[in-house]
Amino acid sequence: MKRVIYIFSVIFFMLFAYNYLYSQIDSSLKLLYPHDPDQHSFNPDSVMIDTCATTDPTFPVLYAYKWYNVFLPSGSLIIPCAPRDSIVYREWSDIDTNFIELREGFQMIENKFGPFILKKQYPDDTDSSHLGSRSCYIKFEKYFNIDTVTYYLNNELI
C-alpha cells in the first residue's frame, strides 16, 4: 500500500512540475494586439510577442501557430475542386510520392515543430497554371517563433 501511495505521489509531483514549467514558458508570450476589426485592430492569427526575449521594440520576437503560406509545385498535391467558401484540409503525407524531396522537407518540419495541417487557400481553383491553385496555409498545434518557422519553410522545402 505504501508503494502505491509513493508511486501516486511521484506521478502527481511530475504532473505538477510539468504544468508549472509549461506555464512559465507561456507566461512570457503576450497577445501582440487584440483582433477587433471594429476598432481597426487586426490580429486574426493571434500573433504573440515574447516579452522576455524582446529587448528592442523595433525588432520584436513574435510567435504564431497559423497561417504560414506556402506555394507547392504543380501537381504535388491533387485536391478536387470545391466551392470557394469550403475549407479543405490536407496533411503533408497526401503529397504525391513522386515529390520525394518535398515530402522529406515536410517530414523534417513535422519532426522539428510537430504535427501540422495544410489548408488550401483557394479550393475552387484547380488550374495548375494559376499560383493560387498551389497556395496552401500551414497551421501548427503550438506557437513557434515566426522567424524560425519561415526559415525552415524557405530552406527545407526546395
pLDDT digits (tens, 9 = 90+) for 52-86: 887 787 888 999 988 899 999 988 888 888 898 88
Confidence at residue 26, expressed as pLDDT on a 0 to 100 scale: 61
Distance (Å, rounded) from C-alpha 61 to C-alpha 138? Answer: 20
Confidence at residue 103, expressed as pLDDT on a 0 to 100 scale: 93
- The alpha helices in 50-94, defined as continuous H runs, are none
Phi then psi for 122, rounded to 5 degrees? -125, 90
Closest CA to 118 of 81, 78, 158: 78
Confidence at residue 126, expressed as pLDDT on a 0 to 100 scale: 83
Non-local (6+) Cβ contacts of 80 within 8 A are 126
- Determine if the pTM surpasses 0.85: no
Phi then psi for 137, rounded to 5 degrees? -105, 150
Q: Name 68's bridge partners.
A: 138
Positions in the chain whose pLDDT score sits under 50 = 4, 8, 10, 15, 17-18, 20-25
Q: Residue 37 has what DSSP assignment?
A: G
Q: Are the CB atoms for 44 and 31 separated by under 8 Å?
A: no
Non-local (6+) Cβ contacts of 98 within 8 A are none
C-alpha cell at 91: 496533411
C-alpha cell at 110: 513535422
Confidence at residue 24, expressed as pLDDT on a 0 to 100 scale: 43
Confidence at residue 1, expressed as pLDDT on a 0 to 100 scale: 62
Q: Are the CB atoms for 59 and 72 separated by under 8 Å?
A: no
